[in-house]
């Protein structure tokens, strides 16, 4: 989304193949992290977010920078045809929300 993996981030979304909520992003290899948060983050370079977003599975939470904890709700509205010379994923529209 135009960012350069400077901070840990993750998507939390239902993985349709197993019908279970998963976290996809940059795993933190420090054991204390997994003990503290009690969750495993699947590597984004192995599990593609496009495998999860479907018209039947339209919502995800995206967290960027665990220090500042920028939380985003992502909603899939439609799937557009892929265009040449575009780097994906790409956000084409957004709306600011003041809710916590």
76 near 59, Cβ under 8 Å? yes
Give yes or no for residue 3 having a pLDDT over 70.
Answer: no
pLDDT in tens, 32-57: 444 445 577 888 888 877 788 888 88
Q: How far apart are CA 10 and CA 45, in angstroms?
A: 12
Q: Which domains does the chain have, with CATH numbers?
A: 1-100 (3.10.290.30)
Question: pTM above 0.75?
Answer: no
- Say whether pLDDT at 29 is over 70: no
DSSP states along 31-67: HHHHHHH---EEETTTS-GGGT-BTTB-EEEEEE-TT
Higher pLDDT, 7 or 25: 25
């Amino acid at each position: 989304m135009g960012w350069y993996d400077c901070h840990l981030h993750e998507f939390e979304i239902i993985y349709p193949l197993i019908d279970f909520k998963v976290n996809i992003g940059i795993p933190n290899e420090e054991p204390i992290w997994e003990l503290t948060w009690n969750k495993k983050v699947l590597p984004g370079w192995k599990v593609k977010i496009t495998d999860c977003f479907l018209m039947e599975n339209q919502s995800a939470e995206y967290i960027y920078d665990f220090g500042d904890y920028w939380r985003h709700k992502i909603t899939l509205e439609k799937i557009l045809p892929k265009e040449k010379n575009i780097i994906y994923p790409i956000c084409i529209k957004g709306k600011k929300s003041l809710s916590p």
